[in-house]
Structure 1
Amino acid sequence: MNTTVECVLDAKATLGEGAVWDAQSSALWWVDIAAPSLHRFHPGTKKNQTWSMPSAIGCVAPRRSGGAIVGLEEGWCAFDPADGSIRLLNDMAPGLATHRFNDGTVDPAGRFWAGTMPKSGPRDAAAGEAGDGTLFCLDVDGSCRAVLDGLYIQNGLAFSPDGKRMYLSDSYKPIRTIWVFDYDLETGTPSNRRTFFDTNAVAGRPDGAAMDAEGCYWMAGIDGWQILRLTPDGTIDLTIPVPVEKPTCLAFGGPRLEQLYITSMGDGLISPGTEDRQPQAGGVFVCEPGVVGYAPPACGA
Structure 2
Amino acid sequence: MELLIHLTLDNNVICLSLGDDAFANPVSLSLALKAGLKSPYLLYELLAISALHLAFLNPTRSDVHWHQAITLQSHALAIFNSDYKVINETNCVGILLFSSILGHHLLADTLAKRDPGGLETFMTNYIHCIEIHRGIHTIAMTAWPQLMKSELEPVLSASSRFTSRSPRGCDCQRIIELVDTCEELDVDDKGACQIMIRHLQVGLDAAATEQQQGYRHYMIYTWLMLAPPSFIDLLDKKRPEALILLAYYAILLHYGRTMWQVGDAGVHVFKMIRDYLHPQWKAWLQHPQELILSG
Structure possessing the higher relative contact order (Cα contacts under 8 Å, 6 or more residues apart): 1
TM-score by length of 1: 0.28
TM-score by length of 2: 0.29
Looking at secondary structure, tell me which structure has more helix per residue. Answer: 2
Looking at secondary structure, tell me which structure has more strand per residue. Answer: 1
- In terms of Rg, which structure is larger? 2
